[in-house]
Structure formats: C-alpha cells, structure tokens
Chains A and B, each alone.
Chain A
Amino acid sequence: MIIMDLANQQKKLSLQPSNRQTVVYAGKEKSVLAAFLLAFIFGPIGLFYASIRSGIIMTLISLANVVLIVLSGFNLFLEILAVIIWIICIVKAYNAAKATIKDMDRRIKFRNNESVLYKSFIIFLAFVITLPLIIVLLYIIKQGVLQVNWHFLTHVPAPEGETGGGIANALVGSLIIVAMSSVVAIPIGILAGIYLSENPGTKLAYYSGLCVDILQGVPSIVVGIIIYFWIVKPFGFSAVSGSIALAIMMMPIVIRSTEQTLLLLPPSLKEAALSLGVPYHRVILKVIVPCGFAGILSGIILSIARIIGETAPLLFTALGNNYLSANIAKPMESLPHMIYTYATSPYDDQHDLAWGASFILLMFVLLLNIFTKLITRKWNIQL
C-alpha cells in the first residue's frame, strides 16, 4: 500500500530523530491508549505495536538488560518508562503522518472527482445540443413526408384557402436559380482560387483574400439589397438577379476550398510538369486542377448546399411566382422563398405545403452534405 515519506512532518516532533522516516501503512490510525497499555503490560514486546524497528531495538535493549541483571545485578529501572514514552511518541507521529496522508488522499480524491465531473459535464453539454437538431429534423420529416407524393411534386400551389396543390414551381425555380448561380460562381471561384494559391505573397492576392473574407461575412440580406440596385432596378425582378445574388454568396466558399486544396498539393507536381516544357495554363488545367479535383468538387457541392436554402437574397430579387415558369427574365419561385411566404400565411393548407417544401429542401441539403462527406472521406481531404 501507500508508503509516504514525511520528513517535514517529523521535524516538528522534537523527540523523533530528524533523519528518520516514518513509514505509514494504509489502515486505521493507531490508538495511544492501546500503545500505553501494551507497553505497560508487555514492555518492549508492546513496542512492536508502534513499529517493528523500535520493537526490535527495545527488545535487544531489554535482552541486554537481562544479561546485565544476570551478570552484574544492575537493573535499568527506567526501561519501562522509556518504552512508554517512546511508544507514545511513535504512535503520535504515526497518527500525525496518517492524518496528513488522509488529507492528501482527500485532496487527490477531490481532484479526481472534479476531473470526472468536468468530463461528464462537457460530454453532457456537447451531446445535449444535438437534441434540437434531431427534434427539428424528425419534426420536419414527420410533417413533410405525408405531404410528398407525385401530385405534390408536379402541381403548382392551389389558390389560397383551397386544398391540394404542390410545389412544382418552387422545385423547378430553385433548380434553375441554383444552376444559373453555379454557372456564374464556379468558374470565377475556381479561377480566383487558383490565383490565390499560385501567388500567395502578392499584394493583389492579399487584398483579394481579404475581400473573400469580407464577402463570406456579408449578411445575406445585404447581398439582396445590393443586387436589387445593380440588377433589379434597371431590369426588373427576375430569376437571373436571384441567381447572381446567390452566386455572390457562393463564390467565397468555392474560392477558399479551391485555394486550400491546391495549397495542399506537393509543389513537385507543378515543377515536374513545367520542367517537361508544358505551358503554364496547361500545367494548371491538366495537372494541378485534376489533382485537386475532389477537394474543389466538395467545395462546390458544399456551396450549393449552403445557397440552396438561402432566402434573404431572393426576397427582393427573384421575388416569387405562383405559377410554373421557366422564363429567367421574370420572377421565379424558389423553395426557401415559398417556405417563408407560406409559413407566415394564416392558411393551414399553405402550412402543409410549406412543411412539404421544407422536407424536400432538407433532403436536398442533407444529401448534398452526405455527398460532400463521401467525397472528402474517399480522397481524404480536410476542408
């Protein structure tokens, strides 16, 4: 069991030799009264109760005393007194040491408990926050899955107050708008990302990177306002304006993922291609981009997942449309915008449509996210 060195403790006890260590075993404290009685009755043998070493020494002294008596008749009368004083001193020192150890034990136990308690607290907090998400997901699925059928997917919403109808206009609209914004954002994003990773030290790269950071933090509603002035005011509400608003939100994500992926590629790839006399643009397009393709692709998918649920930039741009429309110069409905208008309407039928639309939107987002996960896992990319 625990054997502790308590030299400090002993220095306080004047009767104890200061260079000795008190050896303390786990177990109960020793009783002073018992020590006194044992020493009184058994003499030196009783000292074994206090410590084996003192017992041996005292027994040897007693034997010496017996020898002394036999040989010379001289008796050490004070021996029993010495035994009693010694045993009490040893037991007291032992108990003091024991108390300190108990105190330290308590301290260690406290620290251990504190550590365990903290860990359970952290685990509790970390996992309890997944509850709201699970509740939201389950509720949307429960409410939405009942709405979804072929009719729901292929019809436009019924007029207010009537049952039935579907979300075909929003579904088609969302796909068109997101496709158009991808067409705008992906080439710009990838090329700007290539520039940032290829010229990391330049001034332009620094300020461009700064602007990407700024764009990433711009509130989505502000993007809506800006596009309203740039495109809607001169040309009127249209699906194109909504796409461009979403493209602005999409670009920073594509740029950053492209940049980060390309920075991870070993420079020897580029150097090898260049040393073979391949022109710069072919090196980038045929060697560097294909090598980082998985990372770039997952960034693109992630950005699509991010913008497909954006509502605020579409409020003043693509507006909304109750009818199925593929005219990109006219207002167009989208899933998040439809959810917003129907969620705040007073009709239960429209709420049902909104639950269905939420379910479809959620499934899109989840699938895109899972897809990204699979890509990043397969190619082992860190985003």
Chain B
Amino acid sequence: MKWETIFRRILVIMSVIMLILVAGIFITLIVQSMPSIKSLGIGYLWGKVWDPVNNVYGAYPFLIGTLLTSFTALIISVPFSYAISIYLGEYNPKGWLSNLLKNTIELIAAVPSIIYGFWALFILVPVVRIFEIKIGVAPYGVGVCSASLVLAVMIIPYAASLGTSLIRMVPSPLKEGAYALGATRFEVIRRVVLPYTRSGLFAGILLSLGRALGETMAVTVLIGNTSAIAHTFKEVFFGPGNTMASVIANEFQEADHTMYFSALIELGLVLFFVTVIINLIGKRIITKYTNN
C-alpha cells in the first residue's frame, strides 16, 4: 500500500479514536451503574438518605451540595469576570497593563486545584470560622461557604477570557455611531457592547458553570464531607456538605459491594451528563455567535 493512503488512514483512525473514547466513557458509565439504575430507578436522584451501611442510596444531598456550591461560586464570580472582560475588551485592550492582567488571570486557571484546596484549608477556613462565630452558626470552617469562595476564584478565567475576546469582536462602527450621538463610555458599553455580546457572555458563564460542577479536588478538601442533609439554609450553607465529585473521590475506594459501587458510578454518570450538556450548549452558542 502507498504511504499516502496509510497516512490518510492513520489520520482517520486517530479522529475515530475520539469518537470511541467518548462512546466508551458513556457506555462504561451506563453499564457499570446499571445495578443501581435498575434497583433504585429515577427516585435515586431525590432520595434524601445516603447510608451505604444499610444499603440506602439517595443522591439528593450531593445534588444540593453541587448545585449550591456551583451557583454560589457562579454568582460571586460573574461580576468579576464581567469586569475583566469589559476592562480587557473595551477600556484597555492593548498595552503592558492589560497584558499583565491577562496573564495574571490565565495564571489563576493554571494553578492546580489541589493547591487552591490546600491553601484554603489552612488560610481561608480559619477566616471563615471566625466569620461563622460572629454570625452565630456552628464554626465548622469547612463547608459549602469555603468551597464556593475558592471555586469562585477558580472559575473566573474561563468566562473572563471568552468574554474578553467576544467584546473585542464588537464592530467599531456600532460603538462609533453611539459615540457620535453623544453617548458616554458607560452608555456605549451598556447600550451597545453588552447587548451585542449578551449571548456570548452567557456562554462563557455556562462554561464556567461546567467547570464548577466538575471541579473535584479543591472542593473535596474544603467541603467537609458529610452526607447528612441539614435543615435550615444557614446550616446547609455554612455547614459541611458533599458534592457529587467529592463523594466519588472520597468513597470510591471504600465501596465494598456492588450496589454502593454502582450508586457512586451513577453519580459520575449524572455529573458527566450535566457537564457535557452544559458545555455543548455553551460551545454551540459561541460558534453561532462567532459565525454571525
């Protein structure tokens, strides 16, 4: 066979490997979580008790933990990532200061998550504990609150870098038209730039959310790891909890019987599904946006 044909075949095989990988991940997760899907059904998702000793499995505490940490982190991070996008995209797109800020933001994403977790465990948790004593809740320190704070910092770069490049793509005739009508800088940003980039910025937030949902190590170190579910919102927010990723990281090796094992893998399946869907929606919005 000619080398050329072999080379072309190799290229095709390599890209088919990607399909096989994703299909393999999906099938493996489904097959391995089959025992728990079969015996627990859909009620698994809102079962409130997670008690492996008595073979009772419910994912509700982890769903709540994941959603609470992710969305709190998202709410904290959105103003910052917007500000960074607007500053780097509109106010100061060139020059050493904007380069410095851009590289610093990229560095935030580069620092391994376990280092954030480790640092926060020794520095942030005591601070949170002091705060908790002040407002009069049980001073665990570790918990949803600490985890969300660290998570918020960690996910900023994803939305910020996307937002920056999208804001730079706003056509200048639009902006110049607004300036010519006497609009101030703020009015141009609020009435022209932000409406024009709205869907793109939303996609950036979705990508950040995908990161937050799947983030494992920093959260595992900080969340406190309790599968019990607290009653009041204050207890839930400041007390220890568990997320889907952290419960897998903590209990996967302890799982000693099939049901326990496959219940954990079903968590992984749910996590996989949710993050994949969020990521795909985000990417779809971005391609649609950049093509227009």
Task: Find out whether the CB atom of B107 lies under 8 angstroms from the CB atom of A225.
Answer: no
Q: How far is the CB of A176 from chain B (nearest CB, A)?
A: 18
User: Would you call A329 an interface residue if the criterion is a C-beta within 8 Å of the partner chain's C-beta atoms?
Assistant: no
CA A111 to CA B179, docked complex, whole Å: 13
Task: Type the 1/0 row for B188-210, where 1 means its CB is closer than 8 Å to any CB of A.
Answer: 01000000000000000000001
CA A281 to CA B25, docked complex, whole Å: 32
Q: Which of A212, A214, A222, A309 contacts B113 (CB 8 A)?
A: A309
Known A-B contacts A129-B84, A219-B213, A366-B107; A136 and B29 likewise in contact (beta carbons under 8 Å): no
Q: How far is the CB of A300 from chain B (nearest CB, A)?
A: 15
- Name the residue of chain B whose CB is nearest to the CB of A134: B104
User: Would you call A75 an interface residue if the criterion is a C-beta within 8 Å of the partner chain's C-beta atoms?
Assistant: no
Among B204-228, those with CB < 8 Å from A are 210, 213-217, 221
User: Would you call A213 an interface residue if the criterion is a C-beta within 8 Å of the partner chain's C-beta atoms?
Assistant: yes
CA A361 to CA B113, docked complex, whole Å: 11
Q: How far is the CB of B20 from chain A (nearest CB, A)?
A: 9
Among B19-56, those with CB < 8 Å from A are 19, 21-22, 24-25, 28-29, 32
- Name the residue of chain A whose CB is nearest to the CB of B124: A132
- Name the residue of chain B whose CB is nearest to the CB of A112: B184
Among A197-238, those with CB < 8 Å from B are 198, 204-205, 207-208, 210-226, 228-230
Q: Which of B128-136, B229-237, B245-253 contacts A (4 or more CB under 8 A)?
A: B245-253
Task: Find out whether the CB atom of A136 lies under 8 angstroms from the CB atom of B111.
Answer: yes
Task: Find out whether the CB atom of A230 lies under 8 angstroms from the CB atom of B112.
Answer: no
Q: How far is the CB of B219 from chain A (nearest CB, A)?
A: 10
Task: Type the 1/0 row for B105-126, where 1 means its CB is closer than 8 Å to any CB of A.
Answer: 1111011111111110111000
User: Would you call B292 an interface residue if the criterion is a C-beta within 8 Å of the partner chain's C-beta atoms?
Assistant: no
- Name the residue of chain B whose CB is nearest to the CB of A284: B7
Among B235-269, those with CB < 8 Å from A are 245, 248-249, 252-253, 265, 268
CA A362 to CA B115, docked complex, whole Å: 8
Known A-B contacts A198-B11, A204-B12; A213 and B279 likewise in contact (beta carbons under 8 Å): yes
Known A-B contacts A219-B245, A311-B114; A192 and B14 likewise in contact (beta carbons under 8 Å): yes
CA A22 to CA B91, docked complex, whole Å: 40
Q: Which of A208, A210, A228, A361 contacts B16 (CB 8 A)?
A: A208
User: Would you call B3 an interface residue if the criterion is a C-beta within 8 Å of the partner chain's C-beta atoms?
Assistant: yes
Task: Find out whether the CB atom of B187 lies under 8 angstroms from the CB atom of A354.
Answer: no
Known A-B contacts A130-B101, A361-B112; A315 and B184 likewise in contact (beta carbons under 8 Å): no
Task: Find out whether the CB atom of A222 lies under 8 angstroms from the CB atom of B268.
Answer: yes
Task: Find out whether the CB atom of B110 lies under 8 angstroms from the CB atom of A281.
Answer: no
User: Would you call B147 an interface residue if the criterion is a C-beta within 8 Å of the partner chain's C-beta atoms?
Assistant: no
Task: Find out whether the CB atom of A129 lies under 8 angstroms from the CB atom of B265.
Answer: no
Q: How far is the CB of A276 from chain B (nearest CB, A)?
A: 15
- Name the residue of chain B whose CB is nearest to the CB of A207: B19
CB neighbours (8 Å) of A132 from chain B are 108, 153
User: Would you call B79 an interface residue if the criterion is a C-beta within 8 Å of the partner chain's C-beta atoms?
Assistant: yes
Task: Find out whether the CB atom of B18 lies under 8 angstroms from the CB atom of A208.
Answer: yes
Task: Find out whether the CB atom of A204 lies under 8 angstroms from the CB atom of B16.
Answer: yes
CA A308 to CA B6, docked complex, whole Å: 34
CB neighbours (8 Å) of B114 from chain A are 309, 311, 336, 339-340, 343
Interface of A is mostly: helix
Task: Type the 1/0 row for A73-111, where 1 means its CB is closer than 8 Å to any CB of B.
Answer: 000000000000000000000000000000000000001
Known A-B contacts A122-B91, A221-B248, A222-B29; A188 and B84 likewise in contact (beta carbons under 8 Å): no
Task: Find out whether the CB atom of A214 lies under 8 angstroms from the CB atom of B22.
Answer: yes
Task: Find out whether the CB atom of B248 lies under 8 angstroms from the CB atom of A130.
Answer: no
Task: Find out whether the CB atom of A118 lies under 8 angstroms from the CB atom of B118.
Answer: no
Task: Find out whether the CB atom of B272 lies under 8 angstroms from the CB atom of A222.
Answer: yes
Known A-B contacts A122-B91, A211-B22, A369-B110; A358 and B115 likewise in contact (beta carbons under 8 Å): yes
User: Would you call A248 an interface residue if the criterion is a C-beta within 8 Å of the partner chain's C-beta atoms?
Assistant: yes
Task: Find out whether the CB atom of A196 lies under 8 angstroms from the CB atom of B184.
Answer: no
CB neighbours (8 Å) of A211 from chain B are 18-19, 21-22
**In the complex, which of the residues B116, B118, B283 has the most CB atoms of chain A within 10 Å of its own CB atom?**
B118
Known A-B contacts A114-B184, A218-B275, A312-B245; A125 and B18 likewise in contact (beta carbons under 8 Å): no
Q: Which of B19, B103, B249 contacts A373 (CB 8 A)?
A: B103
Task: Find out whether the CB atom of B80 lies under 8 angstroms from the CB atom of A125.
Answer: yes
Task: Find out whether the CB atom of B25 lies under 8 angstroms from the CB atom of A133.
Answer: no
CA A126 to CA B72, docked complex, whole Å: 19
CB neighbours (8 Å) of A136 from chain B are 111, 115-116, 119
**In the complex, which of the residues B7, B82, B189 has the most CB atoms of chain A within 10 Å of its own CB atom?**
B7
Task: Find out whether the CB atom of B276 lies under 8 angstroms from the CB atom of A218.
Answer: yes
CB neighbours (8 Å) of A129 from chain B are 80, 83-84, 105, 108, 153, 156
CA A213 to CA B207, docked complex, whole Å: 11
CA A198 to CA B7, docked complex, whole Å: 13
Task: Type the 1/0 row for B143-182, where 1 means its CB is closer than 8 Å to any CB of A.
Answer: 0000000000100100000000000000000000000000
Task: Find out whether the CB atom of A309 lies under 8 angstroms from the CB atom of B115.
Answer: yes
Q: Which of A133, A214, A312 contacts B280 (CB 8 A)?
A: A214
CB neighbours (8 Å) of B280 from chain A are 210, 213-214, 217
User: Would you call A379 an interface residue if the criterion is a C-beta within 8 Å of the partner chain's C-beta atoms?
Assistant: no
- Name the residue of chain A whose CB is nearest to the CB of B32: A229
Task: Type the 1/0 row for A291-335, where 1 means its CB is closer than 8 Å to any CB of B.
Answer: 000000000000001101111100110000000000000000000
Known A-B contacts A211-B22, A279-B4; A130 and B105 likewise in contact (beta carbons under 8 Å): yes
Task: Find out whether the CB atom of B15 lies under 8 angstroms from the CB atom of A125.
Answer: no
Q: How far is the CB of B207 from chain A (nearest CB, A)?
A: 8
Known A-B contacts A122-B86, A280-B7; A343 and B216 likewise in contact (beta carbons under 8 Å): no
User: Would you call A191 an interface residue if the criterion is a C-beta within 8 Å of the partner chain's C-beta atoms?
Assistant: yes
Q: Which of A114, A118, A191, A223 contacts B14 (CB 8 A)?
A: A191
Task: Find out whether the CB atom of A279 lies under 8 angstroms from the CB atom of B245.
Answer: no
CA A340 to CA B114, docked complex, whole Å: 7
Task: Find out whether the CB atom of B15 lies under 8 angstroms from the CB atom of A205.
Answer: yes
Task: Find out whether the CB atom of A369 lies under 8 angstroms from the CB atom of B25.
Answer: no
